[in-house]
């Protein structure tokens, strides 16, 4: 059996990462662009924050790149 650390409950994980997810590069611009184009509900439009954007963010948060700034 996998531990929760390896395979957390998806809804719990997403809620716990909500601020980090919303701060992903490009997400604010996509949301602002949708608002400027008259989209009254950009959060409900799958074309604003796309599945690809979400997948890239989840992958980045679940598997962060090594920090090259720390001394060896």
| pLDDT top residue among 54 and 70 | 54
- pLDDT at residue 5 in the model: 55
Q: Where are the domains of the chain?
A: 15-62
pLDDT for 34 = 97
For residues 27-44, b (16+ Cβ closer than 10 Å) or e, as one string?
A: beebbeebeeeeeeebee
CB atoms within 10 A of CB 51: 8
How many CB atoms are located within 10 Å of the residue 47 CB?
9
Q: What is the average per-residue pLDDT within 2-6?
A: 53
pLDDT tens track for 5-63: 566 799 999 999 999 999 999 999 999 999 999 999 999 999 999 999 999 999 999 98
pLDDT of the residue at 1: 43
């Amino acid at each position: 059996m996998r531990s929760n650390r390896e395979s957390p409950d998806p809804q719990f994980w997403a809620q716990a990462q909500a601020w980090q997810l919303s701060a992903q590069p490009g997400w604010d611009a996509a949301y602002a662009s949708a608002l400027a184009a008259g989209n009254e509900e950009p959060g409900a439009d799958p074309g604003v924050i796309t599945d690809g954007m979400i997948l890239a963010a989840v992958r980045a948060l679940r598997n962060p790149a090594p920090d090259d700034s720390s001394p060896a």
